[in-house]
Structure 1
Amino acid sequence: MDIKKSIEESYIFNIFLFIKRLLDTSFIFNVKKENKDNANEISGEYKTWKEHSLIYALIIKLDKKLNKLEKFIHNSIIESKIYNILNRKNVDDREIKKSLNNPVIENSKVVLYFRKIKDKLRVEDVLIALTTGYIFVDIFIRRISFTSSFGSIWDELLLIFLFVYIFYSRIANNGDINFNLTPMGLPATIYIVLGIIHLIVVSPDLSVAVEGFRAVFQQVLWYFAITQFVRNQSDSNKVINIMIGMGLFLGIHATYQYIAKVPMPGNWVDISENVRTRAFSIVGSPNVLGALFVLFIPIGISMLLVNKNKNSRIFYMLSVLFMILGLFFTMSRGAWLAFGFSMFIFIMIINIKLLVPFIALVGVFILSGSLMAQRLLFMLSPSYMMSSAKGGRLYRWRIGIDIWKKNKFFGVGLGRFGGAVAINNKLSPFYLDNYYLKTLTEMGIYGILALAFVIVCFVLFSSKIIKYQNDMKSKLISIGLFTGGIGILTQNFVENIFEVPAMAIYFWVIIALINTFAPKKTILNK
């Protein structure tokens, strides 16, 4: 059986193609018609709606106007009396310090080492590291006494600072920095606008609706900030290495927790299951920890495949190994299934011939009789179905669907059912454990179509970048990033992964990284 042919003839695949054709011919995404004379010449070239969209053309013109304004502000500051006074004082201070410097100290290895670090370390790198290390920064701030009061707002302050620094950099560089426009920028903007419209139309309690809107749409703003900092593959590699380093630490810690049988702080298993512990590391939740591994492992595998340096390969190999162990020890069935699906997509794109051994490996794992395999197979048992229908996922999903049926098109309103905001405001007794159903319940058909629109755009734009790559290294890393994102989207079917701010932010960071691997100009030989 030809699997590729089956996929191309499938209903879902053709829906994606239909949506792509609609986007390519729409007023917003494509307003220029191709010349038939050179249609064959450019048909194999990597192109996006960014090059043809009227909206993007208007944004480019607006950006040029901003460049002129920034240049004016820059020149005004440079020519101001206050700046000249302050600048003169700084020059004088530097001269005084220079005259007092001890040559022995100045030329010492320690001073030279730290000076070398200072020269290499950019403010942009620090800001990228703070964003990428969100999980660790959040834990640190919340657990240190003098910073804990900022625990609920530090990420918003950082987001605001990112945008402030972007505009500061543009002015400081005399308006020579252009806004980094990306193919996913417009879909992300449309998604936010649709959310604002829903907030205006359906808001039984405005404060709850605003809180619900913030929980869903605020994380999208990180995408626009990160794309201004991460503009090339070199920057992407820095972010990727930070992520994999985090994954290695979390994997080692999760493995330790499982071996040491650290007590679970919550009731995370069915009463009939023989599971004594589940790894949760510093994240506090096995499912969220599993989601992090689902995101990071495909990226780690890609980096392992493309790197020839011995030390780098050892680092990536250990990272992948411990992340896989950590994933297993979370005992998160949703994460396992999401990881399995993401690796299926990974293999389908790289080499379809590897599919048979992959399926055989999965079969051996399921039939091994191990505790992990038993937990997966338990989902098919009548006792699990009865338990789930009585008070588990199936029961919650049924309640969510019943509530949606009463408000099919617009839903009950943002923040009103099945999520953290609803629980905090005592409007819902539980999580729906399905982010898409939660979106459907709160935002109705309108909201789920808006979310589907963004997801389809992500799949189309990522697939296009992968398809038109002529460099195998870039292609493999792009595949790793894409399949990691697909894994998170898959896990959202059985959990509210995007309810965790870090996970939503990481998803948008991944999209920002994929942008940097877009081929500049590639013509396929047909």
Structure 2
Amino acid sequence: MDIRKAIKGSFIFNLLLRLKKLSDNSFLFRMQNKTDNKGKYKPEEYKTWMDISFIYIFLMNLDKKFMKMEEFIFNSLTNSVILRPFMKKINTEEVATERPIRDNSYLYKIIKKIKGKGSWLDLLIFIPASYIVVDFVIRRTRGLASLGSIWDELLLILLVGYIILKRILSGGKIKHNFTPMDLPAAIYIVLGICHVFIVAPNLGIAIEGFRAVFQHILWYFVATQFIRSIEDSERVINLMLSTGLFMGVHAVYQYIAKVPMPGNWVDTTENIRTRAFSIVGSPNILGVIFVLLIPIAISMLITHKDKYMRVFYFSATIFMTIGLLLTLSRGAWLAFAGAMFIFIITLNPRLIIPFIAFVGIFILFGGSLSQRLLFMLSPVYLIKSAAGGRLYRWEIGLTMWRRNRLFGVGLGRYGGAVAINNQLAPFYLDNYYLKTLTEMGIYGIVGLAFVIICFIIFAMKIIRYQDDIKKRILAIGLFSGAMGVLAQNFVENIFEVPAMVIYFWIVIALINTLAPKGKTETN
């Protein structure tokens, strides 16, 4: 009883209680329905701030103006003497000529099924969804290697141009796909732009640092225009899981073949000869890719009825899980445990005991794998980490932040790739949140926390109000994988890798297609 009184009288307990009361009365943060006079929950529809925000209402009305302008442009082009023949050809559906060899081809049928009802050009979204593979091929292909650092920017411009052109050629019939995460993402980008004007000892480095942090968020706005339905989501998910399966198989091969590691990725006291890294080049980044994809594969395995697809999802789950273990990435292991904890506690809390038991068995009988994990708790590791490892780098980062607590030292100036390339820092901070705090101060970390909190609430509301069990489980898988990525950012600069930022925002776009039908339903 004394312990209970002490807890109830504590400052932290009362602070959390007040925050709960505030969230219960907040439209944005409320996760439960309001109660009536008898204490019973009232039925409530899925709603977001898209339903009440003046900004969204203004943007939606503005989009209607653009649609009218696009209709005018289309009609002008159609009636143009010069362009009329081409426009008629584009908009006239001719009878398709039969091609028996092509039409009866098994490969063609698969590709056509993947394409669905959309245009063939709509498959362009598959390129960023398979970023790792595309980037690997471009950087290692003679004649294309020179585009290695800019191909994704060129593709982003191409996709934006395609979206605009498609809207015009539709005659103003395609609406912009507004989503609840548009506003938080846009606000965060605006905060970044403002920060460049506030703290920029070197404008060139500040702009480079801004691009490294904020440019890849723009992929979200593109992804949401391509991925509008559950069918679109499943096609993108299948492609991402195919990539994951390939890298899982490749990781197993690397470990069996004892492929030499291209970097010093182990402690000097450890007797480890190889770690799986596949085509990614880093076991830690490969690990976080698996952390993102495995919960999604499990959710697809649970919900899909086609036996052939279930074999595919099962294979992807198994090989990616083995690949995750073979990366020997402790940060990825812990992030995966966190992701699966969220997956299980959200899907069926009764499974949490078996999950904890499985984790315990792994720790007790995992051999060299569990020894590597437990080594993190040893005094030797802590001493070495404080002397020149993560703890040491974190302390240096905090020291740098104290020079300007509110706005930090400036974008691109410490703890990341831009700072290292410009010889402003000797190492990565291996903590993306600390890097953000160091470079952007309290101003920046609050902005990032705002986006993450909005994402969590947005996803949890979809899970909470989704009645379709298949969509609900898929939303849980996507949400859990994304949360695993956010967790690993505590021990790695995950968002320094363009592919991971793009994948993260594509996953958010996928979650949006699972929203319950209502005012926020996409058109």
TM-score normalized by structure 1? 0.89
CA 1:209–1:316 in 2, change beyond 3 Å: closer, same or farther? same
Superposed CA deviations along residues 420-442 of structure 1, whole A, max 9, x for unmatched, are 01011111100000000000000
Matched letter for residue 109 of structure 1: I
Counterpart-to-counterpart distance in 2, 1:117 and 1:410: 52
Q: What is the aligned partner in structure 1 of residue 310 from structure 2?
A: 313
1:218 has 2:215 as partner: yes
- Decide whether the 8 Å contact of 1:20 with 1:460 is kept in 2: no
Matches of residues 358-373 of structure 1 in structure 2 within 5 Å? 358-373=355-370
Which residues of 2 match residues 45-444 of structure 1 at below 5 A? Answer: 45-86=45-86, 107-110=99-102, 113=105, 121=115, 122-444=119-441
Could you tell me which residue of structure 1 aligns to residue 515 of structure 2? 518
Q: For 1:299, give the aligned amino acid.
A: I
CA spacing shift, 1:288–1:50, aligned 2, 3 Å? same
Please name the residue that 1:29 is paired with.
none
Q: In the alignment, is the contact (CA less than 8 A) between 1:342 and 1:484 conserved in 2? A: yes
Aligned-partner Cα distance in 2 for 1:478–1:245 = 19
The answer as to whether partners of 1:124 and 1:229 remain within 8 angstroms in 2 is no
Residue range with higher mean Cα deviation, 361-370 or 322-331: 361-370
CA distance in 2, matches of 1:307, 1:174: 37
Q: Does 1:476 align with 2:468?
A: no
Tell me, yes or no, if the aligned pair for 1:67 and 1:175 is still in contact at 8 Å.
yes
Q: Deviations over 1:473-492 (max 9, x none)?
A: 00000000000000000000
Q: How far apart, in 2, do the equivalents of 1:17 and 1:53 lie?
A: 23
- Secondary structure at the residue paired with 1:296? helix
Shift of 1:123: 3.2
- 1:172-223: CA deviations, max 9, x gaps? 0001101001011111111111111111111110000001000111111000
- Encode CA deviations 1:330-359: one digit per residue, 9 max, x unaligned: 000000000000101111011111111111
Q: What residue is the counterpart of 1:461 in the other structure?
A: 458
Cα distance 1:394–1:88, how it changes in 2: closer, same or farther (>3 A)?
closer
**Superposed displacement of residue 88, structure 1:** 8.0
List, as ranges, runs of 4+ consecutive aligned residues in structure 1 with deviation greater than 3 Å: 9-25, 40-43, 85-91, 110-121
Give, in whole Å, the separation in 1 of the partners of 2:111 and 2:458.
37
Q: 1:436 is paired with a residue of what secondary structure?
A: helix
Q: Distance in 1 between matches of 2:207 and 2:233?
A: 33
| Structure-1 separation of matches of 2:505 and 2:515 | 16
Q: Could you tell me how far 1:155 is from its partner in structure 2?
A: 0.2
Cα contact 1:16–1:456 (8 A) shared by 2: no
Residues 499, 268 of structure 1: CA spacing in aligned structure 2 closer, same or farther, 3 A cutoff? same
Residue identity in the other structure for 2:126: A
1:382 CA drift (Å): 1.0
Q: Distance in 2 between matches of 1:116 and 1:73?
A: 36
Q: Give the corresponding residue for 2:5.
A: none
Flag structure 2 segments of 5+ consecutive residues without an equivalent: 1-7
The answer to whether the Cα contact below 8 Å between 2:78 and 2:88 also exists between their aligned partners in 1 is no
How many residue pairs are counted as aligned between the two chains? 497
Cα distance in 2 between the residues matched to 1:89 and 1:376: 63
Cα RMSD, aligned residues only: 2.8
267 and 57 in structure 1: CA distance in 2 versus 1, 3 angstrom threshold: same
Could you tell me whether the CA contact under 8 Å between 1:264 and 1:278 is conserved in 2? yes
Mapped partners of 2:518, 2:481: distance in 1 = 26
Q: Distance in 2 between matches of 1:41 and 1:277?
A: 55
Q: Secondary structure at the match of 1:365?
A: helix
2:212–2:496 contact (8 Å) kept in structure 1: yes
| CA–CA separation in structure 2 for the residues paired with 1:13 and 1:262 | 54
User: Any idea what the Cα deviations from partners look like across 1:295-326, whole Å, max 9, x if unmatched?
Assistant: 00000000011112211111111110000000
- Residues 78 and 87 of structure 2 are in contact (CA less than 8 Å); yes or no, is this contact kept in structure 1? no
